[in-house]
Structure 1
Amino acid sequence: MGSLIWERLRQRLWRTIQPRSTWGYILCCGIATFLVVRTLSSSSPLLSSNLPAYTGPFGVGTIDVEVPVETRSINNATFKDGGHPAFQLETVLFTLYYPTRRGTVSSKPHHLWVPKPRAIVGEGYARFAHISNFVTNSLITFGLWGLVGSTKIPAHVDVPLHDSPVLLQSPGFETEPLTVDEGIPVMVFSHGMASSRTQYTQYVGELASRGFVVAAIEHRDGSGPGTQIIRHGQPPRTLLHFDVRHLTVDSGLDGDTFKKAQLDFRQAEVEETVGVLERINHGAGGEIFKSNSRHEGQHLYEWEGRLAIKNATIGGHSFGATLALQTLRNGPSELLPFQGAVVLDPGKQSGPLNHDVRVPTLILHSNSWSSRRSIFFGRAHFDVVKDVVRGVLKRGKDAWFMTSLGTSHPSVTDAPLIEPWLLSFTTGATIDVHEGVNQYVKVTQRFLQYQTTGVKEGILAECVTHPQYWVEDESRPDSGDLPETFQKYWQIHVAPCGPKEGEA
């Protein structure tokens, strides 16, 4: 009997790990094997660079917050494996980035860029590639280690919030700090597909070093590679990337309705994040610390009255940018009190974009997002985005639509900073990887300052330079009076000033 069981186990294992004659399987295994050999024979990750220190006038602190919420199902879909609800909200997880005093050092270790256990992330990415099995999961996990090693996020863990009045600085820090009595400006940030909250740490950390608080959400809607849901007194529950193929047939979801369910789940997570921030601001920071299963936030009780929640900004990249626009429908509201939005490369395959936007909005396209013509629900994606921004202007709110020259879709993430050669080679980005993130930070900073002061400065004070995206092999249109430093990095397609409707 024992030999029969062993033979069945052996046959099942072989069916799982046996090679397949698909190019995806062969390529993945080949690359991962190379990375394993290269990693084990070297003391440093392959082609990898450490994340740079933040450049703003303030130090940067960070806190992981995971707290339980009232359990609710956003959709009735269930997993084939185990029958657990796919879109059941149990906890909300986000990471705070915030200004602290320069020179502040934490006694706790820095957060890892790829959180442990890495095997979850490796298996999740194998699922994305539709090649998940024992061999590929292990190889991709080793490959992740080979690419990013033990890369750490530069922010200091669980240190106090800066204790002086609210602090804003102009790019270059050539001016005096600006004191704002209403509280520190807050942004809630949503990551993109096949991504996570840890993959934008340079962008959000740089904003924190300039005096802003950013809450970067970890979405549990299946769009990330993998995460652990942790609650006090319960064993961690692993949630891997999932899509329609992982759900039961009676779930009734197809490609479009599945994405809608994901966006609705993400919006619920945003609502819960705002609720936690409001509780902290109202003096419940100590309670949040006690309920935080990540055991960080010992100084949150000192944050009482320090956050400008009622003037918060929603931000997001790609799928997260589509979500950011969705949260503005019929807003601002009590649950979603956003007074502005920073929208980075709104998704081309994430479902329709919400046009009901009634707050100041900044939409930034990477060069690759603008240059590649994509048909989006029967129209060019570029034109659809342009109409969203024009609609904001027609409602009497300021709005901008720009393209960041030389960048690619991942340029706002940490990936090009960690693997600059690999990302430049595969994405075609031509801008220096550090300058790419720096340009996104500068414009976002200007917008967040505008949200607080109502004053348009820097590139936000400039008019339209290119009503349509300018392609390099065509004759360059007139850029007007746009300063040369801006011409090198940006095209402005829509802005609060000129040209008027009909002149484009």
Structure 2
Amino acid sequence: MPLLSSKLPNYSGPYQVGVVDIEAPTEKRLISEHVFKDTQQPAFALESVLFSMYYPANKGAISTKPHHPWISDFAQQGEGYARFARINNVFTNNIFSWALWTLVGSTVVPAEVDVPIYGTSTQYDSSTEVPMEAGLPKFPVIVFSHGMASSRTSYTQWCGELASLGFIVAAIEHRDGSGPGSSVMLKDGSSREVYHISESMLEPQPETPEFKQIQIAMRQAEIEETVRVLRQINDGHGKDVFASNARSEGDDLAAWRGRINMDRIVVGGHSYGATGALQALKDAPNDKRPFVGGLILDPGKQSGPLQSDIDVPILVVHSQSWSARHSIFEGRPHFEVVKDLVKKVMRKKEGKKQQSAWFLTSKGTSHPSVTDAPLIEPMLLSWTTGSTIDVREGVMQYVKVGEEFMHFLENGERIGVLAEDVTHPVYDQDERDPERKAHMSQDIGKYWQIHVAPPSTDKKQRG
């Protein structure tokens, strides 16, 4: 490990965590007609969907396969970040690759690769089809979309911690040109590289709003394909998914029949991914996007309009840096746009009841706090981002509130910070009286500001 770099910690929940990389072929189609100027090749062609699936496994399960590296191809990622900086050449690409190595080194994801899902015998014969054993739990699902300049491995601690608590998390790697670099791999052995895309690379050259709409459309298509693959696995076709998986993992997927709770599937995302998750909630739940909730982390400030036509509960979490920084978005302060979006969702009716929605700020955190980066380089990231919370505590607060939201979707019970009324209708303006402060959990007051929440009593919602 490089100097000052830290290993990713083991997960803390009651379940062992397994992970499987799945790259499943899709029906080949173009999301837009734009091509690259230099090659005339399609810029937004969907051929496969790639995601890492984190899941509860048997306690003590040990993989015979090596752990997944946090970065598997430093040359590819280095070139990708050089392209982001618009200084792409052999010299700068090597500098970026070397810089990544000095920061990350041989960091691996601590999840066990390709071990059986919880409750499956380690002696399970994947060549046979067997029914689900009676009494085995079905695990709720979070389909997660990463942010700009990120990938499916950028949030492994958050994903793995939730898996250790009894959830399946499918972390997608988007090929929409928002990440540094990715390899599209097909089962026939063919592959191609996808790097960062800017408007100037395309023909005809789109305006920025159109370009972002295309990227969000690509992300939604990948989200829908991930749902399709999850449903295929749950319906008992795991062996077929394994056979077509270009990443050659998942030889126990046949035992997953009936183990995914497709009635409790949530879409989540961070930054650009949060904007994409909001878009995926339009008209949900439906067959392609059967989402019963949205977990929205730092919705993007430069990723286009935020879709607000939402008929399911949502939890929006801002990092402190996201709430504190005054940013004009669509002609208004970004904080106010997000607050009004959440209040609009909450005003909708589910049957005769008010829809539930929350908007919170995680105190002491910065935009990268939910990612693995501060865990790997705690001193560097704290210094450069201004984050004041302990880096592991920052991730764990995001995990905890995510678990509380999933708990609410399961049985309607509000626990933890989600059980509280509004504390700060405006960022950093505390409306609590001394009595309420004294009775509130110290951890909630220490780590959270609550801007929008369903009233916990009959009194009128404040803020």
Scaled to the shorter chain, the TM-score interval is over 0.9
Amino acid at match of 2:89: N
Amino acid at match of 1:153: V
Correspondence for 1:305: 258
The within-5 A match list for 1:106-185 is 106-115=63-72, 117-163=73-119, 183-185=138-140
Is the alpha carbon distance of 1:355 and 1:84 closer, same or farther for their aligned partners in structure 2, counting shifts above 3 Å?
Answer: same
8 Å Cα contact 2:454/2:461 also seen in 1: no
Correspondence for 2:131: none
Deviation at residue 142 of structure 1 after TM alignment: 1.1
The within-5 A match list for 1:466-477 is 466-470=424-428
Correspondence for 1:232: 187
8 Å Cα contact 1:283/1:305 also seen in 2: yes
Correspondence for 1:72: 29
CA distance in 2, matches of 1:180, 1:264: 40
Q: Deviations over 1:105-125 (max 9, x none)?
A: 00000000012x221110000
Deviation at residue 81 of structure 1 after TM alignment: 2.4
Q: Secondary structure at the match of 1:197?
A: coil
Correspondence for 2:165: 210
Correspondence for 1:417: 375
Amino acid at match of 2:180: P
How many pairs does the alignment contain? Answer: 441
Correspondence for 1:196: 151
Q: Deviations over 1:128-171 (max 9, x none)?
A: 1111111010111111111100100000000000018xxxxxxx
Deviation at residue 234 of structure 1 after TM alignment: 3.4
8 Å Cα contact 2:425/2:462 also seen in 1: no
Query: Please, which of 366, 369, 373 is the counterpart of residue 408 of structure 1?
Result: 366
8 Å Cα contact 2:424/2:431 also seen in 1: no
The within-5 A match list for 1:430-441 is 430-441=388-399
Query: Please, which of 314, 320, 325 is the counterpart of residue 361 of structure 1?
Result: 314
Deviation at residue 310 of structure 1 after TM alignment: 2.7
Q: Deviations over 1:378-403 (max 9, x none)?
A: 11111111111111211121111100
The within-5 A match list for 1:307-456 is 307-395=260-348, 396-456=354-414
Deviation at residue 245 of structure 1 after TM alignment: 1.7
Q: Secondary structure at the match of 1:229?
A: strand
TM-score of the superposed pair, with normalisation by structure 1: 0.85
Deviation at residue 181 of structure 1 after TM alignment: 8.1
The answer to whether residue 198 in structure 2 is matched with residue 243 in structure 1 is yes
Amino acid at match of 2:309: D
RMSD of equivalent CA atoms: 1.7
CA distance in 2, matches of 1:446, 1:364: 13
Q: Deviations over 1:471-495 (max 9, x none)?
A: 6xxx885473432111000001111
Query: Please, which of 293, 303, 322 is the counterpart of residue 246 of structure 2?
Result: 293
Deviation at residue 180 of structure 1 after TM alignment: 9.4
CA distance in 1, matches of 2:441, 2:10: 29
Is the alpha carbon distance of 1:64 and 1:502 closer, same or farther for their aligned partners in structure 2, counting shifts above 3 Å?
Answer: closer
Q: Secondary structure at the match of 1:488?
A: helix
Q: Deviations over 1:304-336 (max 9, x none)?
A: 011111320000000000001001112211100
Q: Which structure has the greater CA radius of gyration?
A: 1
Q: Secondary structure at the match of 1:91?
A: strand
Structure 1: unaligned runs, 5 residues or longer: 1-43, 165-178
Correspondence for 1:92: 49
Q: Secondary structure at the match of 2:410?
A: helix
Correspondence for 1:497: 455
Q: Deviations over 1:26-63 (max 9, x none)?
A: xxxxxxxxxxxxxxxxxx31320000000001100000
Correspondence for 2:124: none
Amino acid at match of 1:109: P
Which has the larger share of strand? 2
Amino acid at match of 2:99: G
The within-5 A match list for 1:244-259 is 244-248=199-203, 250=204, 252-259=205-212
Q: Deviations over 1:420-477 (max 9, x none)?
A: 0000000000000000001000000011111112211111111111111106xxx885
Among all aligned residue pairs of Structure 1 and Structure 2, give the percentage whose two residues are the same amino acid.
54
8 Å Cα contact 2:20/2:113 also seen in 1: yes
Amino acid at match of 1:355: S
The answer to whether residue 10 in structure 2 is matched with residue 57 in structure 1 is no
Amino acid at match of 1:236: S
The answer to whether residue 416 in structure 2 is matched with residue 458 in structure 1 is yes
CA distance in 2, matches of 1:362, 1:503: 18
Structure 2: unaligned runs, 5 residues or longer: 121-133, 349-353
Is the alpha carbon distance of 1:469 and 1:143 closer, same or farther for their aligned partners in structure 2, counting shifts above 3 Å?
Answer: same
CA distance in 1, matches of 2:267, 2:10: 25
Query: Please, which of 482, 486, 499 is the counterpart of residue 440 of structure 2?
Result: 482
8 Å Cα contact 1:192/1:317 also seen in 2: yes
Amino acid at match of 1:446: E
